[in-house]
Amino acid sequence: MSDPSTSPTSRMTLECRVPEMDCPSCAGKVTNSIERLEGIEAIEPQVTSGRLVVEYDPELASEDDIRARVRAAGYAIADDETEFTVSVPDMDCASCANKVENALERVDSIEEIETRPASGRVTVSGVSDLEMPVVIDAIDDAGYEGKPIEDGDDGVVESRAVWRSRRALGTAVGAVFVAVGMVLEFLLPALDPALITAFGRTYGLSEALFIGAVAVAGVPILRNGYYSARNRSLDIDFLMSVGIVASVAAHHPFEGAMLAVLFSVAELLERFSMDRARDSLRELMNLSPETATVRREDGTEEVVAVDSLEIGDTVVVKPGEKIPADGAVTDGQSAVDQSPITGESVPVDKTAGEEVYAGTIAESGYLEVAVESEADDSTIARIVRMVEDAERESTKREQFVDRFASVYTPIVVVLAVAVAALPPLLVGASWNTWFLRGLTLLVIACPCAFVISTPVSVVSGITSAARNGVLIKGGRHLEAVGESEILAVDKTGTLTTGELNVTDVIPLEGADEDDVLARAGAIERRSEHPVGEAIVGAAEERGLASDAIGDEPDSSDEFAVSNFEALTGRGVRADLEGVTHYVGKPDLFDGLADLEHVHATDGGTVLESEPERAEWDHESIPSCDREDCLDVLSEVVPKLEADGKTVVVVGTEDGPLGVVAVADQVRPEASWAVSQLQEQGIRVVMLTGDNEGTARAIAGEVGIDEYHAELMPEEKLEWIRRLKGDGDAEPDERLEANAVAGDAGEVSASSFSRSVAMVGDGINDGPALATATTGIAMGAAGTDTALETADIALMSDDLTRLPYLYRLSGKANDVIRQNIWASLGVKAVLAAGAPFGIVTVIHAVVIGDMGMSLGVTGNAMRLAREEPAAAEAEFGSTHADAEFGPEGEAETRGDE
C-alpha cells in the first residue's frame, strides 16, 4: 500500500468490469493481487455487479499495472465493452421483456442483455463501437419506445396517467361501440338495419359497431401481435391478435370485439398494477434529497445538486431536512430519524464524529456533515442497486414457472387448433361452434398471470423489507429464509452488544465503590485491554477525577500513576499514591493477599446485576468475630462467573480493596426476538467462541435451549455443516458436550433439516455465513463488506428484524404458492370447460387473463403491508434507547 499521507487530490480512480468476479472468494483473490502494487489507496470489489473500483496514486501506479494484476489473479477485464441503460416505459411484463430481448439479440454488437420489467429498464453491453441509436432502433423494432436515461435520472419509469392515455380512450370508445352493438343485436334487433353485403354475407349496424370496436380498441393489440410474430414470440399479444383476426374473418365480430375490449382493459389494469409496484421501488430512490447546502471555505453557503457533491465537502443540515450524503458529523447535535436506512423506529442522537447516512432526517437540531461518499456510492444508492439486482434474479419457483410456461403454451395452442378443426373435419360438426371453442382455448393458452405470479411477489417482498431495514439480496434468499427451520446465531455482537460494561462493584475492607473504580480506572488507563477500557469507561461515567484518590494529575496523565506494568494473562500492576496496586484475575493475588477471608463494606451494591444479588449472604468465618466476612474465591467469583461475567480484583499487597465484574451486555430485545422465532417454529442454536460458562449464562438469559461454545471459526463452519446434514462432518465429543441437556445433544445427521440460516457480524463469521443456506449480517448500514458478502443484511443492530424477516419470508412463500396454484387451477378449469362450451371467450379473458393477473398482483401487494411488530411494547425498551454500542469484542480476561 502507498503512504497514507498521500493527498486525496492526487488520487485517481479506475473502475472496470470483471464479469467472472462473482463471489467473495474471487474478490479476495483480485484484492490480494492488486494490494501487491505500491500506491494503491483503496480497493472496492463489488461482487453483485461484477465491478471493481480502485483508488491509486498515479505517481506510484498506473491503470495498466492494476489491470495486469487483475489478469494475474486469473480474471479477465471487460475493457472493450460499452454499456447503455434505456428506459422502456411500456415494457411492464415478462412477455414484453421477451420481445425486447429477442429484438436486441439480433444486434451483433450486443453481448449481454438485462431486462427489468419491474423498473421499465433495459441494460445492454457490447463491443466498444456499440452506439445508443442502435439500441434504441432495436427496441423500436420490438414495438416499444425506448429513450436514453439522462445523467441524474434514476431510470425508473414515472407513474403514468393510465386511465387518461390514448389506449384508455380507444378502449372506452370500443366499449361504447360494443355496448350499443349488443343492444341492437340482442335487445332491439328491429332497430338493427342491414348496411352492406360483402363476401356473400350481410353486415348490419351492430356488426359494423363490433368491427369498429376491433378497429379502435384492437389496434394496439394487433400492432403488438405483429411485433411478436416478427420476433418469433409466442406470447399473449400474438395469441390475442390471432384470435381477434380469426373471429372477424370467420364472421364472429362480436367475439372479436369482446376480445379486443376486454383484453385492452386487462392490459390497462396490468399497467396500473405495475405502476404501483414501480412506485415502491421509486420510494427507495426518492429517499435522498435532490439538493444540498454546502458551506464553502470562506463561510458562504451554496445550494447545489446532490450529484455534484464531492468527498470532503461540508454540508449544512437544518432541523427537518434530509441529510444529503453519507458522512461524519463535524459540528452540531440532532436526533436523526434513521428509519429509511436501518428501520429503527426511534431517532438516534448524533454528535460530532458520528456517522450519518444519506436520506435520513435531522429532526431536532442543526448539523454540519463532512461528505465521505459520492451520491452514487452512498448506502441508500447501494441498497437501491442491490434491490434492483435482487428483482431480476430468478427464484427456483420462477425458474419452474418459466420452464412450465415454455411447454404449457405450445401444447394448449396445438390443442386449440385441434379443437377448432378436428371435430368439423372428422365428424362434420359445426365449424361455428368448434371455432369458438378453439378460440377460447387459444385465449386460455396465454400463461400471463402464471408467469407474473412469482416476480411480482418477489418485488413486493424485497422492497417492503428494504423499507423496514432489511436488505434481501435476491428472491431465492427471500424464499430460503422461510424454508429454514434452524437459525444459527452468533453471540458476540449479535445476541450481545459486543461492548464490555462494568456490571458489579463489590467494595471490601472499608473502601467504597467510587474508591474501587477510581483506583482501578487510574491504573487501567495505561492498558489497552477491553476489560480495562470498560473499567475506565465506568469510572468516567461516574465523574471520578484525581481528587477521588488524593492525587493531582501530572502533565502527561489524568492520574499520577507510575511504574505501570502489564502482567501477561493475569492483569496489571502500577504504583498509585506511592503504593503498589494490582488489578487483574483472582489468581494474580496468589501469594500476595488472602482472598478467602475478607470483609465486605457496609452498603456495598451492584450496578446492573439482578436484584437478588444486591447484597451478598455473608457467613462469618469461625476464626473471625465479624459477621461481614466473605470468601471471594468460593462465594463471589463462582457466582459472578456463573452469570457469564469476567471477575477483576483490585487491591494491594496488604489485601483486596474490591471486586469488579465486567460482561458483554445482552441486547435488550434479544430474549423477545428469540421467543418470537421459537413461536414460529424456528430452532435457534447459538454458536460462540466464548467460554462454556459465559455461553451457558447468555443462552439461559435469552431463552436458547441449545448452544455450542469455545468454537474456532472452522468449528463453527463444521457445526453449520452438521446442522445442514452435509457430508460426514462429525463434531468431536467436546462439541457435543457443550449442547444443553435434552435432545440438543443428539447430533445425528438424519435428525436435522438441510436448510440452515445463520446470523452474525458478516465479517468474523464469514466462513460459517457463507456455508449456511442463508447468511444474515447484523448492522450492515455503511459497511461495504457486509453489504457485499451477506445474502441478507439487517441494516441496524436490531434483532427485532429477525422475527419480521421470517414472517415476511413465510408469507412471501405462501403468496407465491397461492399465486402459482391459483393460476394453474383456474387455467385448468377453464381449459377443461372450453371444449364442452361451458367456458366462453368472455370467461377466458375476464377470469383467466384479466381476473387472474389482477388477483396475483393484488395478492402479492399484501406483502408491502407487512410491518415489524411493536417489539418495544413486549420487552420494555427499544434498541435505540439502549446505551450499548455495536463495536468491541467480548472476551475473558487474557493477555494485557
DSSP per-residue codes, 409-461: HHHHHHHHHHHHHHHHHHH---HHHHHHHHHHHHHHT--HHHHHHHHHHHHHH
Partner residues linked to 448 by β-bridges: none
Measuring CA to CA, which residue among 482, 443, 407 is closest to residue 792?
A: 482
CA dist 448 and 234 (Å) reads 12
CA dist 872 and 876 (Å) reads 5
CA dist 688 and 709 (Å) reads 5
3-state DSSP of 161-225: CHHHCHHHHHHHHHHHHHHHHHHHHHHCHHHCCEEEEECCEEEEHHHHHHHHHHHHHCHHHHHHH
Dihedral-angle region of residue 301 (phi above 0 means left; psi in -120 to 50 means alpha; beta otherwise): beta
CA dist 679 and 457 (Å) reads 25
| Residue type present at position 121 | R
Instruction: Please name the residue that has the C-alpha cell 434491490.
Output: 387
Measuring CA to CA, which residue among 25, 27, 126 is closest to residue 70?
A: 27
> Would you call 106 exposed, middle or buried from its count of C-beta atoms within 10 A (0-12, 13-18, 19+)?
exposed
Partner residues linked to 500 by β-bridges: 664
693 backbone dihedrals φ, ψ, rounded to 5°? -65, -45
DSSP 786: H
For residue 654, the tally of other CB atoms under 10 A from its CB is 11
Contact 585, 529 (CB under 8 A): no
| Residue type present at position 339 | S
For residue 103, the tally of other CB atoms under 10 A from its CB is 22
Contact 659, 650 (CB under 8 A): yes
CA 14 to chain centre: 28
CA dist 261 and 221 (Å) reads 10
Contact 806, 795 (CB under 8 A): no
Catalytic-residue membership of 331 = no
Catalytic residue (one of 275, 337, 490, 798)? 490
Q: Which residues form the catalytic set?
A: 490
